[in-house]
Amino acid sequence: MNTVPVFPIAIGGVPEFWGKLRSARVGFLALDYDGTVAPFHVSRMMARPMAGIPELIVQIRDRTNGAVAVISGRPLSELTRLLDIPGIMMVGSHGYEFRYPDGTLETRKPLYVQREGLYRALDTGFRRGLISRLEAKIAALALHTRGQPENEALSMEGWAMENWTPIALAHNLEVRRFNGGVELRCPGMDKGSALQIILSRQPDDAFSVYIGDDETDEDAFRFLKGRGIGIRVGHPDAPTSASGFLPDIQAVKDFLRGWAALAPEGLSGGVTWKREG
C-alpha cells in the first residue's frame, strides 16, 4: 500500500521543530555542503547537489530575503562552481573565506608560521607519493581517502596523523579527521566561528538552524547550544552535539521543502550584512 509522505518531515529529537519555526519572527538557515546537500563522490568535483536542492535554496532565499547560508570546508572556488547561487552567504575553507550575497569577498590569511607548516606537510605528502590525494587550501591541507579500500584508507590516515601531528604542534596547526580523510588546518576559524560571525549580523531573536553531517560540523552544533538548533545528517545514535537528526540527504531535501513553505518571510529590506571593521 502506498503511503503519503509526511509534510513537513519530522525532525528526530525535536518534535516541536516546525511549531517553533512557524511562531518565529525571523529565521536563519545554514547548511554544510558535502554529505548534506550533495552526495559524496570519489571525484570531488563530481559531488553535485542532489537534484532539486539548489532550486529549494533559491526558494528559501527569495522567501526569507536572503536568510540562508552555505558553510563548507571546501575552498570557495570549488564551492561556487558546484553550487552557484547568487544572493546568499557562502563560506569556504571553514570560515577563512566569505562571499557575501552582493558578491563581496573577504579572506582571512594564516600566519607565516602556519603557512610554513602547511608547506612542510605538503612536502611530506609529495615524498610519500600521495600528490593525487592531497588538496591544498588557503588555511589547510587535506588528505582524501574516499574510494580507497578500507585497509589502505586507514593506513594513509594513520600515516597522516603520525606525521602531521608533530608539524601541527610546531606550527600552531591542528590535525582533524573528517568523513573521507584527514585535514591539517589553522585553528581559530571553524564552522562554529563562521556561524557565530553570520549570526552576529542577524536579529537576536532569529530562529537559527544549522545542518551538517560530520565531525567538522560539530563546532557549529556546539556553538548553537542554547542559541538555536543543530541537526546532524546520518544515524541517530552517532555521538553529536546536535539536537536533532535527519537520516540522509533525501531527508534534507524534504526538510528544505518544509522550510521553503513555512519559514517566516524575511524582514523588509532583507538581511543586513554588516562587515567587521
271 contacts: CB under 8 Å, gap ≥ 6? 65, 66, 67, 101, 201, 202
Per-residue pLDDT of 62-98, as tens digits, reads 999 999 999 999 999 999 999 989 999 999 999 999 9
Bridge partners of 178, per DSSP, are 181
- pLDDT band at residue 5, thresholds of 50, 70 and 90? low
Give the sheet arrangement for strand 97-99, strand by strand.
Answer: 105-107, 97-99, 89-92, 68-71, 27-31, 207-212, 228-233, 244-246
The residue among 116 and 179 whose pLDDT is bigger is: 116
Peptide bond into 239 cis (omega under 30): no
Query: Does residue 274 surpass a pLDDT of 80?
Result: no
What's residue 272's pLDDT? 58
- Site of grid cell 535527519: 246
Cell numbers for 93, please give them: 575553507
pLDDT at residue 6, as a whole number: 55
pLDDT at 277: 42
Q: Which three cell numbers stand for residue 118?
A: 602547511
With 80 as the cut, is the pLDDT of residue 275 above it?
A: no
As a whole number of Å, the CA-based R_g of the chain is: 19
Nearest-angstrom CA–CA distance, 248 and 36: 8
Over residues 29-58, the pLDDT tens digits come to: 999 999 999 998 877 778 899 999 999 999
User: Does the pLDDT value for residue 267 go beyond 80?
Assistant: no
Name the residue with cell 536542492: 53
Q: Output the pTM of the full model.
A: 0.86
Identify the pLDDT of residue 37: 96
Count of helix runs (H) and strand runs (E) in the chain: 8, 12
244 pLDDT exceeds 50? yes
Distance CA 185, CA 32 (A): 18
pLDDT, one tens digit per residue, over 119-171 is 999 999 999 999 999 999 999 999 999 999 999 999 999 999 999 999 999 99
Per-residue cell: 82: 558546484
DSSP codes joined into one string, 225-276: TTTEEEEEES-TTS--S-SEEESSHHHHHHHHHHHHHHSPPPPTT----PPP
| DSSP three-state, residue 142 | strand
Q: Which triple of cell numbers denotes residue 253?
A: 531535501
Task: Report pLDDT digits (tens) over 182-211.
Answer: 999 999 899 999 999 999 989 989 999 999
